[in-house]
Amino acid sequence: MLDIHQLHAHAERIRASGVLGRSRLIRRLFDFLVDCSLTDRAPKEIEVAIDVFGKDARFDVSQDAMVRVYIHKLRRKLEEFYAGAGRGEPQRMVIPKGAYRFVIEPAAEAPTEEPPAGGRSRWVPAALGASLLVNVLALLFFGYVRWHSAPSDLATLRETPVWSRILNDDRTIFVVLGDYYIFGETDQSMEVKRLIREFSINSPADLDQYLMLHPDLASHYLDLQLNYLPTAVGYALRDVMPLLAPAHKRIRLALASQISPAVLTSANVVYIGYLSGMGMLHDFVFAGSRFSEGKSYDEIVDHVTGQHYVSQAAVPRGEEKYHDYGYFATFSGPSGNQIVVISGTRDVAVMHTAEAVTQPETLEQLTSSAHDAQSFEALYDVYGMDRMNLGGKLLLTSKLNTSRIWTGEPRDAVTAAVTAGGPARALK
């Protein structure tokens, strides 16, 4: 027999944990099923659709899987709770397969939900593979510096202000990778038919918020817990990780979509990835910059000169040479932490920028152009062919307005500071 006091206590702990997130529909479904279970009521699918999702009696559950989708999501939330805050619980609150109610079961017997037929199971190995790949790359690169890198070059680089401010500090170093969140579009049988990348949706929370605004899509979009990284990230890690090897015990790998403001304001951060993958870091960097995006992330606008730099990498060109644009920035955070950004519009730009700041000669050229400013940004014109980095040149450096970054000073003050003589130098 169900112990209603035990069920109520479990429900309160789950609510308090925050695992249900900000999705209004998930919370409503959870509360509805708790109320039904406490009164020993077993609602049908159509009742859930009407009472939770506001559907009417004409709603066809055989044609619209909205209820089943959200039951699937709620099961995932429960799994997340018992894998985290509730991992020590001797018993678990679960939704039995084919039912719309909660029961309490011993933890050892709590079933794991079967993925939708033909859907999620195919994508889980890919997600795990991507995660493992990042960690394997890191281990390989730490080994690479030990056996193949020139010790004198690495020592020289580590003593430069760009890298010494990070390495000589005892803060944790977050190597943040610019990732992209993708979700699945399902058919009526809940089978994933295609993957979707939407720039405005870069996390499960973003997807929940989007579905709140577009409830008609809730039964067609499915969170697959998948993120992907551009190819350039792997090449850039190869260049950056040897430099950071002495601090390996303080290094954490993280995705840009997972970073919180607390990390950006207290830890040392090295971002690697596209301009479009920076997440919340983007707003901080470009608040104090002379640059912004144009009509897309493939266009960079210089607000001081009015120049537009448009990447040609998005247009297939075969063996024809094209231009791409790399972006670098280094600046101090509000607690004395340091942030380094190795970025660009597309792959060859990110690859070249990483090479430029991890080679003694090109890094010296960069810092000299910036007049040894502690906080500055730089733009590179990079030449590519068939996704290969052929080389590039430093176009300009400019002092970053850190006051604007952390306090919200108006942008016109940024451009005024640059044109009035803040370290800015164009290279021919």
Residue 46 lies in a domain: yes
Work out the average pLDDT over 311-331. Answer: 85
Does 214 share its domain with 235? no
Give CA angle at 346 (344, 351), nearest 5°: 70
Residues 169, 189: one domain?
A: no
Range of the domain at 398: 149-178+230-426
For residue 157, pLDDT beyond 70 = yes
* 136 falls within a domain: no
Specify the pLDDT at position 150: 63
Query: With contact defined as beta carbons under 8 Å apart, do 425 and 369 qualify?
Result: yes
Q: Are residues 269 and 252 in the same domain?
A: yes
Q: Is residue 212 part of a domain?
A: yes
Q: Are residues 156 and 189 in the same domain?
A: no
Identify whether residues 258 and 382 lie together within a single domain. yes
Shared domain for 276 and 201, answered yes or no, is no
Q: Structural domain tally of the chain? A: 3
- Mean pLDDT score of the chain: 82
Asked if residue 236 and residue 223 are part of one domain, the reply reads no
pLDDT bin (cut points 50, 70, 90) of residue 412 is low
Q: What is the pLDDT of residue 105?
A: 87
| Cβ atoms < 10 Å from Cβ of 242 | 22
Count of all residues that appear for the chain in the document: 428
- Domain-located, residue 121: no
Characterize 251-270 residue by residue with b for buried, 16 or more Cβ atoms within 10 angstroms of its Cβ, and e for exposed: bebbbbbebeeebbebbbbb
Mean pLDDT, residues 369-388 taken together: 90
Residue 65 located in a structural domain: yes
% of the chain surpassing 70 pLDDT = 83
Residue that has been written with the tokens 């011993």 in this structure: 106
Query: Is residue 405 a part of any domain in this protein?
Result: yes
In the predicted model, is pLDDT for residue 19 greater than 70? Answer: yes
In one letter, which amino acid is 303? H
Residue 145 has pLDDT above 80, yes or no: no
Q: Are residues 408 and 276 in the same domain?
A: yes
Q: Is residue 133 part of a domain?
A: no
Rounded to 5 degrees, φ, ψ at 254 are -150, 155
Are residues 353 and 251 part of one domain?
A: yes
Whole-number Å distance between alpha carbons of 356 and 328: 10
Which helix (DSSP H) or strand (DSSP E) does residue 13 occupy? helix 4-17
Residues 84 and 167 grouped into a single domain:
no
Q: Is the pLDDT of residue 367 over 70?
A: yes
Please, what sign has the CA dihedral across residues 254, 257, 258, 261? positive
DSSP string of 27-68, one letter each residue: HHHHHHHHHHHHTT----HHHHHHHHH---TT--TTT--HHH
pLDDT bracket for residue 263 (50, 70, 90): very high
Per mean pLDDT, which of 74-88, 163-177, 205-219, 243-257 is the most reliable?
A: 163-177
Q: How far apart are CA 280 and CA 285, in angstroms?
A: 9
Q: Which pLDDT does position 409 carry in this prediction?
A: 62
As a whole number of angstroms, the distance between CA 120 and CA 225 comes to: 9
Per-residue pLDDT of 103-125, as tens digits, reads: 888 876 554 444 444 444 444 44
Whether residue 238 is found in the same domain as residue 379: yes
CA of residue 347 relative to chain centroid, distance: 17
For residue 16, list its beta bridge partners.
none
* Assessment of whether the complete model's pTM goes beyond 0.75: no
170 shares a domain with 201:
no
Tokens of 85: 């805050």
Asked if residue 137 is part of any domain, the answer here is no
Residue 54 CB partners (closer than 8 Å, separation 6+): none
**Which of the listed residues 165, 199, 228 is the one where a domain comes to its end?**
228
